[in-house]
Structure 1
Amino acid sequence: MATTTERPAPDDPVRRILRAPVASIPAERSAREVAEELVADEVGAVLVDGSHGPVGIVSERDVVTALATGSDLDRLQAADLMSTELVWADPDDGIGDVARRMREANVRHMPVRGTSGAVAGIVSVRDVLDVLAAPAD
């Protein structure tokens, strides 16, 4: 008998849709290296590593803004681009709740903190939208 995987629902825990491993980059890397990491990993954001874990996040929008304003991507560092106010989810948070928190915080990517405090994964607005806007069966 074949089994099918149930489609995640808004009340399901976000651990069902998180993506791991999470792309990350040291704070001193150039904006160009951030862009290369985004392309290589086919992701929309990377976490910026500090000595005790993530200290920020850089999205593709941050890189495009730097480029559009004439910044030198080889001189600008990840630390210069990153947003430092990380909004975290827990693996057991509901997908719908995470979507609301993303909207309230005006973020498109939310790291998920595991039980040990380490990064368990990341979810994007597209990940939650895929759940919230899924066609009814």
Structure 2
Amino acid sequence: MPAETERVRTDDPVRRVMRAPVASVTADRSARELAEELLADEIGAVLVDGTHGPVGIVSERDVITALATGGDLDRLQAADLMSTELVWADPQDAIGDVARRMHDAGVRHVPVRGTSGTVGGMVSVREILDVFAGPAD
């Protein structure tokens, strides 16, 4: 994250606000373990790893939905809760463009590509909102 005195603008690259490293889990992790991971790391989403990289994402909202609809958090697994339609950003994408992409897709977390197909970071609606609602001039 940039220093507090540095003003981040919507046309700056998203790498300026992304968080790294990114938490990830295997598809067989229980929903309870996911909830514990989200709480312990104070994050809103984790990526679900597959053989060749991320295959999905599970957010706190997914866990809460499972709980509210009577799901057994000890029996449900990441594979049961994850969204498989990942919306990606590149590190050089403008923050404003990523915000529009998130809005259009209805997502709150976007992984940012790293080198060689890896995950370089994650940006959440919170980081995006901080830019748009930054300090008053």
Q: CA deviation at 1:4?
A: 7.5
Q: Deviations over 1:48-87 (max 9, x none)?
A: 0111111000000000000001111101000000000000
Distance 1:44 1:33 in 2: 14
Q: CA deviation at 1:20?
A: 0.3
How many equivalent pairs are there?
A: 135
Letter in 2 for 1:67: L
Q: Which runs of 5+ in 2 are unaligned?
A: none
TM-score by length of 1: 0.95
Partner of 1:105: 105
Partner of 2:25: 25
**2:46 is equivalent to residue 46 of structure 1:** yes
Partner of 1:55: 55
Runs of 4+ in 1 over 3 A off after TM superposition: none
Distance 2:115 2:74 in 1: 37
TM-score by length of 2: 0.95
Q: CA deviation at 1:115?
A: 3.2
Partner of 1:114: 114
How has the CA–CA distance of structure 1 residues 71 and 89 changed in structure 2, closer, same or farther, with 3 Å as cutoff?
A: same
Q: CA deviation at 1:7?
A: 1.6
Distance 1:136 1:95 in 2: 19
Partner of 2:89: 89
Letter in 2 for 1:8: V
**2:2 is equivalent to residue 9 of structure 1:** no
Bigger CA drift: 59-68 or 108-117? 108-117
Distance 1:4 1:22 in 2: 22
Distance 2:92 2:83 in 1: 25
Secondary structure of the corresponding residue to residue 116 of structure 1: helix
Distance 1:25 1:6 in 2: 34
Q: Identity of paired residues, percent?
A: 79
Distance 2:33 2:51 in 1: 19
Distance 1:115 1:104 in 2: 26
Q: CA deviation at 1:133?
A: 1.3
Q: Deviations over 1:85-136 (max 9, x none)?
A: 0000000000000000000000000000013210000000010010011133
Letter in 2 for 1:69: T
